[in-house]
Amino acid sequence: MTSFNLRRLKLRPGEEHREALEVELHSFELGGQRYLPVPERVEAELAVTRATTGTVFSLAYTVRVYGPCYRCLGDAVLDIGVAAREYQASAPESEELTTPYLVDENLDVSAWARDAVALALPDKILCHADCAGLCAVCGRSLNDDPHEHPEERGDPRWSALEALRDRL
């Protein structure tokens, strides 16, 4: 776990501290699917800016994420550029003015970076832009084996209603 201790910083309002950090990223689950950031450690740029009412934290890095394709469930690989910001008020009046990653002057950079990756993922993760997905009838991958099935015949129990529909 990568953390950053804010006690060593003596910032006055308007001042900023920038530092390169090696951030440890862990795999995570989102929507029942597992995603794996690679490499496990990434070089990130952390900026801490002191404002008159609190502190602004910025984190920027690039990571490659492996996970399942939305359409075919095959392996998908994404290169994601992450730029995240958090704010911690000096005297917070509500929960919205605090960051969950700051506990006792220690900023949990690993948890923040993991959550930022999850938020940066696109709505639909695809192995490639023109992924054909899975066949709705047999479940085989249409990327590997493009095929069609003959049209199914209807249930014979509905034939009387189909005949009535044809007459109307």
Per-domain residue ranges of the chain? 3-120
pLDDT band at 31 (very low <50, low <70, confident <90, very high): confident
Q: What is the pLDDT of residues 43-90, one digit of tens each?
A: 999 999 999 999 999 999 999 999 999 999 999 999 999 999 999 998
User: Which residue from 119, 6, 115, 1 is spatially nearest to 57, judged by alpha carbons?
Assistant: 6
Q: Can you give the length of the chain in residues?
A: 168
**Residue 87 burial (C-beta neighbours within 10 Å; 0-12, 13-18, 19+):** middle
- Would you state the pLDDT for residue 115? 94
- State both tokens at 53: 């009412």
pLDDT over 80 (residue 152) = no
User: Which residue from 46, 47, 43 is spatially nearest to 24, judged by alpha carbons?
Assistant: 43
pLDDT band at 8 (very low <50, low <70, confident <90, very high): confident
